[in-house]
Amino acid sequence: MLVVVGVMLGMLLSALDQTIVGTALPRIIVSLGGMSLYSWVATSYMLSSTATMPIFVSRTEKTASRVARRMSQALVTSMPPPMQ
């Protein structure tokens, strides 16, 4: 279930990202000086998002392991003592 939620969240963020870029791209190109720079804008966007992905993944892995460890500690400490 957690994997499905993770995949769905990734797809949602990807769709939002493309919606924002698709809406802002014409205005960015106009401010840069015309349609001749369209490929440069698209290429720079793809390169920057590809280059930053490993940074975000490593930060997420560190944070997720810390959260999982804290949740497991809370679960263990909240368990009642064994019956004798």
Look at residue 10 and tell me if it is in a domain.
no
Look at residue 27 and tell me if it is in a domain.
no
Give the per-residue pLDDT at 55.
82
Look at residue 63 and tell me if it is in a domain.
yes
Record the tokens describing residue 61, joined without a space.
């892995």
Look at residue 53 and tell me if it is in a domain.
yes
Look at residue 24 and tell me if it is in a domain.
no
Give the per-residue pLDDT at 80.
63
Give the per-residue pLDDT at 81.
59
> What pLDDT, in 10s, does the model give residues 25-60?
888 888 888 788 888 887 887 888 788 878 877 777
Per the prediction, the chain carries an average pLDDT of 77
Look at residue 68 and tell me if it is in a domain.
yes
Rounded CA separation 68/33 (Å): 49
Look at residue 44 and tell me if it is in a domain.
yes
Look at residue 61 and tell me if it is in a domain.
yes
Domain of residue 62, residue span: 35-74
Give the per-residue pLDDT at 82.
58
pTM (whole model) above 0.75: no
Q: How many domains does the chain have?
A: 1
- What would the DSSP string read from start to end of 18-82? HHHHHHHHHHHHHHHTSGGGHHHHHHHHHHHHHHHHHHHHHHHHHHHHHHHHHHHHHHHHHSPPP
